[in-house]
Structure 1
Amino acid sequence: MTVQDQQQDSSTGIVLSDTAASKVAALLEQEGRDDLALRVAVQPGGCSGLRYQLFFDERTLDGDVVKEFGTVKVVTDRMSAPYLSGASIDFVDTIEKQGFTIDNPNATGSCACGDSFH
């Protein structure tokens, strides 16, 4: 996906970086499942009011927003989609930190632990 494609897609949903897509594909391969999608959701909770949830899901919910990044499907439920429109998901693997990161332009603030936002 080119930068121009990502910019066009960013206003209509989540953008998954190439690094994150590769990591998700590798995790799915380890699971031996090709019927799972990465579900990204926003749930009430955390010290700032809302928290992200990322998990593999085989369900399809009414109103799901589905985007494909190569072999990886990213699914967002219709209630979470407005909170995540334009959000970028990346995978970081450094000495200090390893895991998925979410850069969300809709978050007006977050807690010190970085686990929740509002």
Structure 2
Amino acid sequence: MNTMTVTKSVVMITEEASFRIKEMMEHNEEQDAFLRISVNGGGCSGLSYGMTFDQNSQENDVLDEQFGIAIIVDKEDAAILEGTKVDYKQSLMGGGFTIDNPNAIASCGCGTSFKAAARPAEEQPCE
């Protein structure tokens, strides 16, 4: 892990999401990794979210720590993700992460992509 200064929270994760993330980190033997939250091009609305484990941070990353999880976000993505809440919901149909982004101006019907005024993106067909 690179040494970085912790900054203000860009993305907030709930305690429930943190439990699931820690389980996944342990299962994948990534306990010392960063959780990288990103915005990628793609999807029928043009942008999609990414959540991965990353062993390295970059100079342009914003670092935060919540519930013992080191979270990194690229500075370019920070404006689009500012105020975003990541939760984990469990239901009779299964469970999954939910992302509530106040900067999304529209989202697709399939729920996997979104539009943001801060970053125009080319729409793709739904899969």
Shorter-chain TM-score bucket reads 0.7 to 0.9
1:79, 1:92 → 2: CA distance?
Answer: 28
Greater C-alpha radius of gyration: 2
In structure 2, which of residues 80, 85, 93 is the aligned counterpart of residue 83 of structure 1? 80
Q: TM-score, normalised by structure 1?
A: 0.85
- Helix, strand or coil at the partner of 2:107: coil
Unaligned runs of 5+ in 2: 1-7, 116-127
Question: Which residue does 1:60 correspond to in 2?
Answer: 57
Residue type of the alignment partner of 2:25:
L
Distance 1:65 1:26 in 2: 24
Alignment partner for residue 113 of structure 2, among 101, 112, 116? 116
Write out per-residue CA displacement over residues 84-116 of structure 1, whole angstroms, 9 at most, x where no aligned residue: 000000011111341111000000110000100
Q: For residues 46 and 31 of structure 1, what CA distance do their matches in structure 2 show?
A: 27
TM-score when scaled to structure 2? 0.79
Residue segments in structure 1 that go unaligned for 5+ positions in a row = 1-8
Instruction: Determine if the alignment matches structure 1 residue 69 to structure 2 residue 69.
Output: no
Q: Which residue of 1 aligns with 2:28?
A: 31
State the identity %. Answer: 35
Output the aligned Cα RMSD: 1.3
Q: How many residues align?
A: 108
Q: Distance in 2 between matches of 1:76 and 1:63?
A: 9
Q: Quick check: which one's strand share is greater?
A: 2
